[in-house]
Each structure stands twice: as C-alpha cells, then as structure tokens.
Amino acid sequence: MKYLNKKGFRLPFVEKERFIQLIRLGLDFKKGEGVYCIKSYNNIEKLIDTIAEILGEDIAFMQNCALCGKDFSCSDCKYLHECGTSNLPFLCVCPVCLKNEKLYEKCVQKTL
C-alpha cells in the first residue's frame, strides 16, 4: 500500500487522455512544482482506483488531523475497521490527539 498526501503527490508521466481524466475526476496539477493535489472530492473513489491503476499498487491518502493539523495514515488507528472514511483524504483526529485527555476541550475551542 502506498500512502499519498492529498496536498501534493507525484505520478509518473501519463498520456493526454489519462491526464484529462484525472483532472475531470478532481485532481489539480501544479505545473511549477510538478505535483498533483486533490481539488474535488466528488469522485474520490474512482480517483483512487485510477491512481492505483497508474501506480500499479493499492493507494491510500493521508488524513489531516482536525486538531493539530498533522498528516497521518489510518494504519495505526484503533478505529480503522469501524471507520467509514478510512484512507480517504478527509479531516480526522490523529492517534496522538485521541490519547489526549483534554480532547473534548480542544474540539470545543476549535469550533468556537
């Protein structure tokens, strides 16, 4: 399994038709940096399948912690098998913040 960061990742060269498909599925290409990033989540499952096909291996996206802002993978989460959005590039709470006893207080402060 290859983990990708939704904010920027590289893909091997793809033909014009495949590039257009990726853009239509919700990717953006930062030409100056040579990286792709997720622009739209509307077709995220099809996008994941297409990227996996290009790379020739299963992929998952890193999560972004809603509390501390760090990127992390779902592989170490104790809720992995119960989560409906595991390995999708959404906001979540990282294992470090989950262990924090004052998690509820942090959540309340973030929403105010």
- Residue-level pLDDT, tens digit, the chain, 112 residues: 899 988 899 999 999 999 999 999 999 999 999 999 999 989 999 999 999 999 999 998 888 888 888 888 888 788 888 888 776 777 888 888 888 767 756 666 665 5
Read off the amino acid at residue 107. C
pLDDT (0 to 100) of residue 36: 96
The model carries a pTM of: 0.79
Question: CA-CA distance, 97 to 23, in Å (whole number)?
Answer: 34
pLDDT (0 to 100) of residue 26: 94
